[in-house]
Chain A
Amino acid sequence: MNSTNYILGFILAMTAIVAVLLTGLREVTKAGAERNEAIFNKRAILMSVENYLGDKQVKQLSDAEVENIFQNQVEQVVLNMDGEEVESMMAEDVDMAKERKKPEAERVLPLYIFSDTDTKEKFYILSVRGNGLWDEIWGNIALKSDLETIAGAAFDHTGETPGLGAEIKDNASFRKQFEGKKIYDAEGNYTAVVVRKNGARNDRYEVDAISGATVTCDGVTEMLQRGIKYYQPYLEELDAESDVQGFLVQ
């Protein structure tokens, strides 16, 4: 048997050594890990406008190309819940997971405005976040410049079941369904996009759900309806502005 002092000394010495070594390693890798995370998030945002990136898919882009697109083609805006721009903030600094914990009125929203190099068309990329079956799900929805047609969507999740709920990310045909859908019905009422079990009934704003993943798909519907609505004050103002501009041009 060892004396208490020996045990205490041993434990203290060991934890001290381990703590110093691990802190050191963390400091060395921190910058690189943060850069990786930023690139990872930027790729997720570009996924929603993948069809407009030229002939490359997002996963084929190098890290430098991703940075380059963000430098030259993406404008970052942060909005408050009234649709006003918040100065001195970059959209990439907004942590959606943290925003979700705040009361609704105090949240800020990241908005990425992507411009196509050839057509100069602008795409408004909205970030949404909600709950799946096991944990959080989130996505980026790109709206065309008419502010009602979806150009593309991409989703991700923390811990949905592989093969079922995780298909929202893994199965490209799920997210491809969103392309061309409208977020308003024919009468102009806000609908967002509904993920419908047993198949879409309305071509305009419904997509097919994934069999066996009802809760995740309902989560996607709820997330889109609530999440896109947050951007409505800004989108409406933008729409009014473009109407005025269109009028002046005429």
Chain B
Amino acid sequence: MAETNVKEATTKEPLFQFGKKERKLLTDPLNDNNPITVQVLGICSALAVTSLVYPSVVMSIAVIFVTGFSSLFTSLLRNYIPKQVRMIVQLVIIASLVTVVELTLKYLNYPVYKQLSVYIGLIITNCIVMGRLEAFSMANKPWRSFLDGIGNGLGYGAILIAVGVVRELFGKGSLFAGSPIEMKIIGPTAEYFINTETSTLFGWYENNNLMVLPAAAMFIIGIMIWIQRSYNQKLVDIS
């Protein structure tokens, strides 16, 4: 695996620089080092919450927030955390941030909180978060750790939303159901975007119920890994 365990630079650097290295921290997890399709972490929630796009988006934002800020806080404390209990300290940081997410979501959008149910709480056990803390934040400066956390959250979120779009579009015929911008795309009646008032070309259309089942997410992620590896040859046989 392409761990980015950079040795800490001894020379004084500006606190918030954004050069090539920093950009790589953000973009690497989107493709070459994607937490889901390459590292195969966080699969549980990726299968469970992606039957609709809207909850997937909310879940992604929650994970980006948790990965970003847990990396930042761990990195800020990295020289003070006693090595013997470092995992417990990391866990407390993650758990507090997840609780913050949970309380905020309950306050701002209760129906989505109900829909995501246990999966918000289960961000604590999402391997992406703790994996990045152990591999990166414990050895790097706060700004870079923050970017690494955000990058990994984005890589997770991108896959989650992509899977959500495919599943909702073919499973329910809609996009963003449950949100204020609900769109009806494919379906048999005139209220769907694909049919106009006069033509009902898709009157025969039936939703594919398999897409709503969690198993569909596994097929979709599998196909995504396949496509990614077929054009990105360096990912093949590195494991």
B104 → chain A closest CB, angstroms: 7
Check A36 against B106 for contact (C-beta < 8 Å): yes
Q: Which residues of A contact B114 (CB under 8 A)?
A: 40
Check A25 against B84 for contact (C-beta < 8 Å): no
The range of chain B's interface size is 20 to 34
Q: Which residues of B contact A39 (CB under 8 A)?
A: 110
Q: Can you name the residue of chain A whose Cβ is closest to the Cβ of B95?
A: A18
Q: Which residues of A contact B209 (CB under 8 A)?
A: 163
Give chain A interface residues in 159-201, CB to chain B under 8 Å: 159, 161-164
Is B117's CB within 8 Å of the partner chain A? yes
Chain A interface residue count, CB cutoff 8 Å, equals 26
Is B122's CB within 8 Å of the partner chain A? no
A172 → chain B closest CB, angstroms: 12
Check B88 against A22 for contact (C-beta < 8 Å): no
The 8 Å CB contact of B110, one of A11, A25, A36, is A36
Task: Give A40 to B100 CA distance when docked, in angstroms.
Answer: 21
Q: Which residues of A contact B106 (CB under 8 A)?
A: 29, 33, 36-37
Check A11 against B96 for contact (C-beta < 8 Å): no
Q: Which residues of A contact B231 (CB under 8 A)?
A: none
Given A37-B110, A40-B111, A158-B117, are A25 and B82 neighbors across the interface (CB < 8 Å)? no
The 8 Å CB contact of B96, one of A7, A21, A161, is A21
Q: Can you name the residue of chain B whose Cβ is closest to the Cβ of A26?
A: B103
Q: Which residues of B contact A15 (CB under 8 A)?
A: 92
- Can you offer 19 A-B residue contacts whose CB atoms are under 8 A? A1-B83, A6-B82, A10-B85, A10-B89, A11-B85, A11-B89, A21-B96, A26-B103, A32-B107, A33-B106, A36-B106, A36-B110, A37-B110, A39-B110, A40-B110, A161-B213, A162-B51, A163-B211, A163-B212
